[in-house]
Amino acid sequence: MRNVIMDANALLMPFQFGINLDMEIESLIGEFHGVVPSPILGEVRKNGGKWANAALSLARKYEITRTENTGDRAVTELAEKLNGIVVTNDEGLQKKLRERGMDYIYLKGRSRLVIWETGGER
């Protein structure tokens, strides 16, 4: 079972774009263990707008884990520590993950998730 680290915008995707996050992730990688870095909850509260409460409820479905860092560093820290894959639409974070040779999942076409692995999209 693979660890999947959720960024703030990953938690908002189901409400902004009407996708079933769990089903989409499972279709890509199979059974998974969702993890949310605790600082991401603050980002969702601050930037989640009308979907913040729903996204926070979704976050509680996954394991919430304390980290030393905040923001993108918290996400990459957990991904490295847990040998996990990140779900994010943040292009800056995606670039950092690619530079580190780390896989990630992102929303494509506002309707489905795809995985980027070292070497390209799948």
In this predicted structure, what is the pLDDT of residue 122?
Answer: 55
CATH of the domain at 14: 3.40.50.1010
| Residues of the domain holding 11 | 2-121
Q: Whole-model pTM?
A: 0.91
**More confident position, 110 or 35:** 35
Q: Count structural domains, the chain.
A: 1
Burial class of residue 79 in the structure, from the number of CB atoms within 10 Å of its CB (0-12 exposed, 13-18 middle, 19+ buried): buried
Residues sharing a CB contact under 8 Å with residue 42, sequence separation 6 or more, in sequence order: 70
Tens of pLDDT, residue by residue over 29-53, are 999 999 999 999 999 999 889 999 9
